[in-house]
Every structure is written in structure tokens, then in C-alpha cells.
Structure 1
Amino acid sequence: MISARLRDRLPRAAPAAVLIVAAAVAMDFIVNVLILGSPSTFTPLMTTLISSIIAVPLSLWVVGQTLSLERLRDALSASVAAKDARQAEAEAALERLGETKRLYRLLADNLTDHVALWSPKGERIYSSPSIERITGYTLEEFMVLPPTAMVSEADFARVAALIRTLQAGGPPAVATYESFRKDGASIWLESTYSRLGDGSNILIVASRDITERKQLELELVKALEMAEGASAAKSDFLANMTHELRTPLTAIIGFAEVLRRSRDLSKTAGRQVGHILDASHTLLSVVNDVLDFSRLEAGGLELDPGPFDPAAMASSCAALVEERAVAKGLAVRVKAPKSLQPMNLDGPRLSQVLLNFLSNAVKFTAHGSITVALSQTVDGETAVLRGEVIDTGIGIAAEHRDNIFDRFSQADAAVSRRFGGTGLGLAISRRIIERMDGRIGVDSVEGKGSTFWFEVRGPLAELTAPEEEPAVEALGADAGVRLLLVEDNAVNRELVRTMLEPFGVALETANDGVAGVEAMRQGHYDLVLMDVQMPVMDGLTATREIRAMEGARGASTPIVGLTANVLPEQIATCLAAGMDDHLGKPINPTKLLETVARWSGRTHAA
């Protein structure tokens, strides 16, 4: 088939053929007629026919050659264009490669982290220039440096073991270790190790200088140690303060109680002794609040959940404030529905909260009544207990309700001057309820009264009948109890003697732990009252000495700690040393007599 390009060229071949034929005829005329003068030999038709036979193929051949040349020209042009395009692409690729190399070099030169490649045989393949900034070694020095030169043997062994666990293409591993610069300075590095998953098994390591972060960590650890030390110092201070404050209060309250019970005092003197007792108990309450709040702030509150009867708790708390309320002409009522069920919560702590509410109600109520109201919402095996203390007192202004539960806060300065108090009771109550994941609040109208309330959730429980304690015979004038009191304070020795003499207790004393141990070695006693903080030998050491001495006998004398150390951890320490019980100072005469009656004359397995 004739190509399209050939068809386009055929019209050009016809004029060429005509031109050739005309030229042949003209040549025939010139030669035969003009030159040879032989007109008879001039044959235009024959010449035309012959020249046509020659001209047409010749014209077609010329056209074909032209087409071939044009195709060759086009092919050459296309080849040149393709070459130019490939050259342009190659130049662009080279330019991009150069830019990439430049960027990689720029990245490698300015990267703060160090990147290294290691062969499977443990030979360095590559190291980024940032190694000089980190270690002080030049790139050339580092590439020939032994791997163990910059780390301790222990760290090197640890990192080597970590590297052996890596899998090709697997997750990376991270190690932190101490390293050493060229100048000997110590730095900390964090390195990430991974093996390439392309079959080469090359190890890639990315390391960064974490010296500042490590120093910050060390400073934080040091700060934590200092804080813990400060906390321990605070605890020691609180323990010492407890002892130092309670020791004089022991004598004040104890002798005031003795005087109050005396029949030899006049009415005026009896009233004044009563004032001393009230003031002393107020001071003791302040001391207890400060210590309790300090423990709560230090996170020392540990809840001790157990089955308790909410109604019994409310009645007990109301009974504790009833005497003071009646003295002011206030009626105290308890509203607790019979449907209240026992719950498993920290009853003593809830009693503390309820008693704080009641004490404030008595303090800030001049006339009217105080009501303790309990309600319970049961939800399956759990329930929400709501406790309220409603008074008809002075109330709280709206602007002071938000901060009434803050520490050292009362409604205003005038209230503090008029009624006294530390403002810690409600703060302690809030922390107790919050520790139980409960809610606490107040609703009040100034001049009409307040309702302090709390809500706590807990599981329902069943109360078990308490075990019956063996009957204890009351102390009498002929009790005949032989008691050893180990106490370094002469006033406290006289106080205990004064309290116990009327009840037939034969009291012997020792003024330090050494004397107490010697007294136990020489004599026999029904009971030992042991102080804890004493010179020469403290009560804990003395108790351990006595228990060791009695070990061979198979029985031991009851030892009761009689001490101003009343924090829970201090009581636990007393019991751990071998004491059987604990009686806190200031000494309550009734509790002292109950303790002596309960423990005197008894022995137990060592």
C-alpha cells in the first residue's frame, strides 16, 4: 500500500516528469534541427514517449529518495531530541543527586545525634561527623578507636548482650550508659540499636548526648532524697513535739483530775480546778488536731475498713458532746431510721468526722438544739451513707462557705477571737472523707444555723457478736497488785502513785531502762508500766532486754507502754518491741485503772 507520505509526494513527481519530457523534446529539436540541420530526424512524439518512459520511474525514484532522506532526517532529529531529553534528564538526575548528597552531608555535619553503621563482624563502616561534637574525637580518630575505649567493662558487656538479642528487621533496643570524652570528662549517652532487614545484617546505632537530662534526673533523685529526709525530720519533730507537749499535760491534767475528785476543796477551788481541766483538754485537742492534720498532709492516713453500725456510731458521738451541750442548755437528738444496715467502712474515722461536726455545733450554738441525722440509700450490695449535723447556731455567711473546709480557716477573724480553735477540724474531716472517695459540704443561713454533711459509699456488712472478754475484777483497796513503773519524770511517777495508791496497788519505780531491767531481774511484779523516751536506756530497749531475760522461764510479765508517743507507727513500734498494750499520755485515770485491772496478775506465753 502506498504510504500517506508517498501519496503526499506524488503530485510533486508529475511536474518533474513533464519537465524531463519537455527537456528531452527541446534537446531533440536543438540537436537535429538547429545543430544537425536535419528536420526529418526530429521526432517529438517518439522523443516524448521515450522520455516519458524514462522520466516517470526516475521521478518516482527521486521522490522515494527524497522521502528516505526526509525519514532519515526525521529519525536523526528525533534521535537528537531524545538524546537531548536523556541528557537533560541525566543532568537533572545528577543535579538532584548532588542536592541529595549536599542535604545528606548537611544533615550529617549538623546532626546532634551520632549515627554509626557496623558490619556483622563488628567493624565500623560509617560514623557521622557529629561524633567529634559529642566525644571530642575526630572522625578519623574515632573510626580506629577500640569499642571498649569509651565505656566501662560492665556497660560494654551489658550493651553487647543487648545487641546479641537483636533480630534483622526486628524492633530496636535502647540502652543508657556512661561514656567518657577524649578529655576524660564523663557524659551520658542513650543509644538505639537495630539491625537492617535487607539481608546485610548491618547494625545501625543512633546515639545522643543525654548528660543534661541525666543530671536533671540525678538532681531530682537528690531532691527526692532531701524531701524524704525533710519528711523524716518532720516526722521526728512531730514525734518529739508530741512527747514534749504531752509530758507536761500529763501532770497538769492528771493532778487536776486528782484535785477535782478531792473532797477537801472549796467550791471556788473546785470550780477553778475544773477550769484548769477544761483548758488542758482544749490544749490537748489542739495538739491532737495539729498532729493529725500533719499526718494527713503527709499522706499518712491509712483506712482500716471494718463492719460497724452507723446508728451506734451516731449515738456514741452524740453522747460524747452531750454533757457540754446540756451545760449550754442545748438538746442533742439523734435521728437514725431502724432500717439502717451495718456497713464495711472505717467507722472510727467517720466517728472523728461526725464528732468534729458535733463539737463545732456545740461551740457555735448558743440556744436551740443539735440534731444528728443519718440516712442510707441501698444499691445492691453497697449503700451510700449520709450523715448530717444540724444546729441552730450563728450560721455561715455565703462568702465564707467555700473556704470553711480549708486548713486554719474559720468564718472570719471575729469568730476565731470569740470562739477560739485552730480551724483544723473541718480540714481534717474533708481529707478523711475525700480519702474515702466521698463528698462533704455545708448548707447554712447566717444567723439561723448550719447543716454539715458527708456522703460515703461502701459495701453492706454483717455485724458479728463481739467475743466476751474475761471478767476483770475491779481494783479495790485490798487488790494487792505489785506494779513496777519505769519512768524518768519524777512528776509523772508521783502522779501515777497518787492515782493508784487508793486502790491497793504496791508501786515501785525505776527512773530509766537500766534500772527497770535490774528491778525485773531482782523481783517479781504483776505488771510493768514502761515509758519509752528515757535517758541511759529507752523503754523499747529495756522491754527487749526483759523479754530476752524472761525467755527461759516460758512466761513473761505484762508490759504496758505508758508514753506520750501516740502516733500509730509509734504504737506499732512499742508492740513490736514486746509490749502487750499501750496507754497514751496524758493519763486518763479511768483508763489507767482499767488497764491495771485488765493486765495485773496475768501471765502469757513468752
Structure 2
Amino acid sequence: MSELIKGWAQWFRDRPDREHEITLNRFFISIAILVFTLFFMPVGDTALAARAISVVYLVAATLLLGHLLYEPGISNARRIIAMVVDLVLLSCGLAIGQDAVAILYPFYYWIILGNGFRYGEAYLYSATAIGTAGFGVVVLLSPYWQSQPLLSGGLLAGIVILPLYAATLIRSLSRAKEAAEQANRAKSAFLTSVSHELRTPLNAIMGSTDLLRDTTLRRDQRDMVDTIQTASNALLSQINDLLDLSSIESGQIALQIAPFDPLELVGSVKNVGAVQALAKGVQFHLFATGRTPTRLEADARRVREVLINLVGNAVKFTTQGSVTLSIDCVFDGGSPFLVLEVSDTGIGMSPAEQAVIFQRFTQANSTILNRFGGTGLGLAIVRELVDLQKGRIEVSSRSGEGSAFTVRLPVRLMAEDEPMGSLLTETRVVLLDPLGTVPPETMDDLAATVGAVARATSVDEAMTRIILPAADEIRHTVVLIAGVLHAWPEPEDLERTVTELRTATPAGIFGFDRDTDGFPPIALRRLLTSVVDHTQIADGLSHAMRLTGLDQQSAAGSPAAITRRERGLRILLADDNRVNQKVISRILEAGGHFVKLAVDGQEALDAMDAGGLEFVLMDLNMPGMDGLEATKLYRMMSLDRPHLPIVGLTADATQSAADRAAEAGMDACLTKPVNGPVLLDRIDALYAEYGQPGERQPFRPVVVPDTPPVTQAASAPDADAHVDTAMLKNLETLGGPAFVAAVISDFLTDGSQLLLELREVAATGDVAGYAEKAHALQSGAGNIGVLQVAEFCRSWRPRSSEDLMENGPSVVERIEREFETARSILLRQHARRPLLISDRDAGA
């Protein structure tokens, strides 16, 4: 009932005017008047007439309230009718009731002034005219009022004079309101103007800093450049907050309601938050209930902005422990609401601090600014965006124990996609049910949904079943832990169980139980990504696998065919990484192109200057002269030559990298690891646009025959989480098993050396050296699908030499552990076959 009342209250608050206030007052006052005439007026003809008028007034008030609920928008006709009904029936009551109802005279002022203050001067004057006429008729017809001429005249004059005086007050209030709105608009315009003016020189500072980072600097100079870059990023974030707040205040933000996938949205937010958390050594968890749909209609951009702000705040104020992002969908009064919660184990807040955190330019306490920085606008913007979507935000926190922000947004349900049948039929489920809580009929439903089911009553048995080879059509193995919401004995036992299982299948571990209202305990959400409901197995399991990325691995399982061009181009590939050279050159050769290699910018510059090339792929980061400098020099040297298309290659997937490539004179910038068909298509398009017209010929792609499949051993149970097997299959399609084995051998050799160098530069605090080595390792790992190594290299960058020396060794240690895990998987699955060496070869 309380939720229903809150819903009605929110509905009234969202109306465009305040007519609902006077309408509700009229309804309750009409009930009070009827009660008065029924029980407190003397019996007689006058009482009967007054009761009749009271009944008519109650009916009219009810009809007006009903019309307001049916048509909640602004209605001038309804306002006028209500005003006439109020004043006419009040006058009739005073005329008939005589002295018994004289107490109702003040209602003239309530009606007249109420209409004036709510709707403006026109309504004030209209109500005054009707009220004056009505009370004048009462005085003329009523013996009681005629017997009191001085009193009647004074009251009649009051109906005229007081509203006219109120009109002057209304005009003053209107002028003050307009002045305040103008001042607010001027302030917003000022903020916007100043913020834009600040961004212009700031962009120059940040751009120059990026260019400085690419030059040869002493260690102290590079530290100063890092400091400038960190301060510039912080200032840019604060300016963006000011612009966001200004846009909201000036009403420039309009909601763009469109269908979106909430699971995909929280997944993208998790990718951002996890990087920030990893840099601080904080864990990041994502949880979705089985009720969460895959298709909703709302403003996804604003929802994402709310979550990005909340997640950023949670990571910012958490120095150890974890941040958890949870999503759910609930129904209230038949309407769907998206529920999002961001909880952390950070510094927490006292009740007094919670009362002010949503105010603008306000921090929870005076120490926050010095310890964590910021403008105090983040949560104010969140509150504004939530209000804009007619939602609600609440905070629960205790000082020193962390905080939880819960956002509740109204949404519209859309028709959902069917559960991914191919994904489920390619999945083997190991059901861990130590307490025997899953009934036989549920086991039958599970078996009918997925490709294979194996039941286990202990962790050891589950581990054994996970490791056992699966049928050829099975691509994924996931674990469902039964009874996590109702039957599991202790959270500590569950944590130990999940930790053990993660050594065998890190990604796919979910709960399996009957659904419950709301979110499960936070301890469980930090362990499991989702809980699959017994009654919604297909939807729940496919949703859970989407959150962990297993569906993407399935979708990527079939490599796209590479097409050979009938006329190949002479392409220069400049890259210092042997793995990248082999993989990319093999892709280019499979596409029908001719490849020349260079290992640094100087070699690339010499090759371009010598001529005979039609296209260049240039790594941005190479030892000595890098790709950017080589491109700049060549563009200066070749002003009188035909344009040579140069495309940058980088593992840095930021706009900054693309901007630096464009400034250097590159025609485009592609992110590694490269996708073979995509790379070849981009070369086609860019050569058609930038290539030499005299040599341009139409491309007529023909499909390159697939390499015959090679029988392999069953995949290790943890391979998909550490190594992208689909990418390795793509490489095998390009060059066969021997080529894959050679690429792996090069990666492991170069990677081991890079790890040694990473540890050295981390110990000495060489930030530039760390960035160079990490970039090289990330590039090589990405090109053969060693996912976690590439992610660790990409996600953490030291802010200073001190930061590198303090945190670098532990980060490098994590990279080394992941590298060793990947090494064992790669050697187990793709070890190079021994080569037969003839006597002649041996004696050579």
C-alpha cells in the first residue's frame, strides 16, 4: 500500500502544473462540508437544501478529480469550470444556509487567491468578478446578510480589495521569478562559455604533452610530462562535469527513448570500471538476476552516464576490497522498473554526510577534497539525470564499511530475443549439488536445454567431470552450484568452493536455485555472476553466459573466410614484433598481396624513399625512430610524389592514438589485434580512396580455400578464459599447424624476454620503458589471442616513477603468472611437431 501511495505521489509531482493540489483539496473539503451539513446543522428545510448543495458539490469535485486523473495535462476549460463550480455553489450555500453556514465565507478568498497564485492574474481577476457577483447576490437575497449591512458591505469590499492587492504581489513574484530564471540561464551560459574557453588551451596542453611523450626525454623530464598529463586529465574531467551540469540546468538535455540491451550496457560499464579498479588493486564484480530482460526501452545513454559516475565514485573511494555492479528488473503496480546498484567496500559515510552528498559542489566531509580530489558535482549530476528520467536514487552506507547506491528507473519492456539455442546446445553443464536439492524433473529440463549435463555431489567430483573430455560439439563447460540462495550452509564454504572451481573453469560458474525477490546477499554477488532460476533455465543460462562473454567466444568460433585479391599490392609492413610480423604478413599474403618487412622507423623510411610501394602498414611504437616520426619525415620528403597510403597499427585503442596518427600524416589507424578480413577490406577501401590513380584496378575478391582441419587434443578446461581458441583457429586457417606453432614459439621467446625487461624497468621506475615493453607484449599477446596477458598490459599504466616502483612489481608478477598459464595451454594444444633432419642437413 505504501508503494502505491508513493507511486501516486510521484505521479502528481510529475504533472506540469499544480492543479492537482486544489483538486485534491476540493475533494476532501467537499466531504467535510457534507459531514458538517449532515451532523451539525439543525434539522429543517434549510438543512435539507444545504445537504443537497453539499451532495452536488461532492459529485462535482469527484468528477473533476476523475477528469484530472484521466487527462493529467493542462486544461484551461477544467480550471474555469472548477472555479465557477466552487464560487457558484459556495454562494448558493451562503444564500440558503443563512447564519448557519456563514462560517464558510473565507472560502471565497481560498478560491480566488488559490486560482490567482496557481494560474496567474487572468484567473485572479475572473475569480474576483465571479466571487463579487456571487456574494452580491447572496446579500441581496438573504435576510441574514441584509440585516447586517455594514458587515456585508465590508465583506463584499474585501472580496474586491484583497485580490487586487494580491495581484500586485503576484506581479512582483512573477518578476522575481523571471529575474531568477534569467540569472540562472546567464549562469549556465557563463559556465558553458568559460568551460569551452578552458577546453581550448587544455586541448593544446594535452596534445603537446602526448607529443612530448613520444620524444627522447630524461627521466625527470618524463616525470614532469606525466604530472602534466595527470593534472590535465583531472582538469578535463572537472570541466566536463561543469558542462554536464550546465546542460541539465538549461534544459538542453532531452531524453532519447530507444530499445537497448541492459546486459550489454552493464557489461560495457564493467569494462570501464574494471580497468580503473585493476589500477588500484581493487576487485570488480558484475551480477545480474535471472529476471533481467535483454530488451528494454529507455534512454540508454543517460543510464550509462549514471552508472559510469557511480562506478567511478565507488572505485575512487575504495582503496581495498571490491566494487560490485548489480542489475535487476522488478514490477511495481504492473509497471517495470530497472534496478541498478553500485556497492563498494570503501570509506563509507555517516548519516549526516549522506544528507548532503547529492548537493552541488559539496563533498561528504572536508577531508575528501584533499584525499581524493573532485568537484563535488558527480553525484549532483547523477541525481539530476535520475530525476530527468523520473527515477529514484537512494544510498545506504556506514562509515568505514562502504556504501551502496541504488537507482530505480521506469522502463518499457520490449519483445525479447529468443535464448541462443546454438550456444546452449554447445554447452556442457556440471551441476554441483552436494545437498541433493535439485529434483529429477528439474534435471530433465536442464538436460533438454543444454548439450550435456553431469551431476556432482562434491567439489572433487565436479573438478573431475570438468576435466574429462567432452564431445566434439561441446565448446563450453559451465558449473551450476545448486541451492546457493536457500540451502548452502555458510558463505565461507561457498567462497572456498567457488575458488577451487575457478582453477578449472574461471569464467562459467553460476548459482542454480529458486528465484527470490530483490538482490541476493552482497557476499554471494561478489562470488557469482548470476543465479539461474529453476523455472527459467534457458533464459537464465544464456543471460549468464552473455555476462561472462562466453556467447562472444561461441560467435567467434567459425573464422571468416579470407578473400584473395586478383591484383595484389606491394605492401610495406613495419613492425618490430616478430609475432606481429608473421601473423599480419600471412594475412596479407593470403589476401593476395606482396609483403616487404621493416623492423623500425628508419628501415621503413628508407624503404618508402626507395619507392616501388603501393601501401604501408606502420606500427606506431617501434624502437629508435617510431612509426609516427617516420611518417612525418616521409610526408615532408615526398611532397612532389604521388600520395602513398600509410595506415598506423597500434594496440592503444584510444582516440588519442588515432589523433596522433592523423597529425603525423597517416591516412587511418587500426587497432591490434587485427582481424584478417577486416584488415584486407580496409586496405581495399583506403587504396581505392588514397592510392595512385594510374595504377588502380578494380578488386575482384575470390575465396581462399580453407586449410583442411587438423585433429587436435581436447581443449584444456580453462583455455577459453586465457587463450582465444577461435583466434588460433583463424591463424591455423591462414598457415596451418606448423605456422601456428612457429608463431607461438616466437611469442613465448619474445614474451619471456619482455617480461624480464618489464621487471627491470619496474624496479628502476622507468615509466617510458615500462610503457614501451608493455605495449610490445600486449601487441604480441593480442595477435595470438592470449587474452589476459594483453588485458593486464593494457589496463595498468603507472602515473609516475614512484607509482611504478611501488606497484609495478606486483603487476608484473600477475602478468608473469598469467603468461605461464597461457604458456602451458599453448604448448599443450599447439606444440610444434618434431622436424625430421636428414643426414645431409645434420652434416651441413
The two structures share one fold, judged by TM-score above 0.5: no
TM-score grouping bracket, smaller chain normalisation: 0.3 to 0.5
Question: TM-score, normalised on structure 2?
Answer: 0.31
Q: If each structure's helix is expressed as a fraction of its own residues, which one has the higher value?
A: 2
Question: TM-score, normalised on structure 1?
Answer: 0.42
Q: If each structure's strand is expressed as a fraction of its own residues, which one has the higher value?
A: 1
